[in-house]
Amino acid sequence: MDLKERVKDSINALNLPLKCFLGYLDDKHDPELRLQMLPGSNVIEVDYAGNKTEQYLMEAIMRGSDEGLINQVLWQITNALGDNDFRIISKDGSFVFLTLEIASFPHPTMADTTGTITYVFDFKITVDTFEK
């Protein structure tokens, strides 16, 4: 399923001052923006043909030394993903987008002694997937 890739592409289409990548922070760039799939995703419903409605928990995480930039970027992403008109389309036909719900607004989770700050925000995305 190409769900993570399509969400990442929609974030990168916002023309932010940095690119979003999949996976965990690697501490090689300042600033750094990542998209992660979180544990706790679940199946909401399964029909007789094996098609499923599934909800995935995702997190945008940004780390850097410029807290103002981090706030600006994450709020821009939050506003775009939380818009009622937000849609994504699978390129491989593996899912059909249903809804996206912002679960937490951007907030700091860590600051270290070098002045680097980490912010995150979480969201839930619900899709239909199909038995092949």
Q: What is the reported pLDDT for 40?
A: 84
Where the chain has pLDDT below 70, the residues are: none
Q: Are strands 20-22 and 117-129 parallel, antiparallel or unpaired?
A: unpaired
Are 11 and 22 a contacting pair, CB within 8 Å? no
Q: What is the reported pLDDT for 72?
A: 96
Q: What is the reported pLDDT for 50?
A: 84
Q: What is the reported pLDDT for 131?
A: 76
**CA gap 109, 92 in Å, rounded:** 35
Would you state the structure tokens that stand for residue 17, as one six-digit string?
């001052």
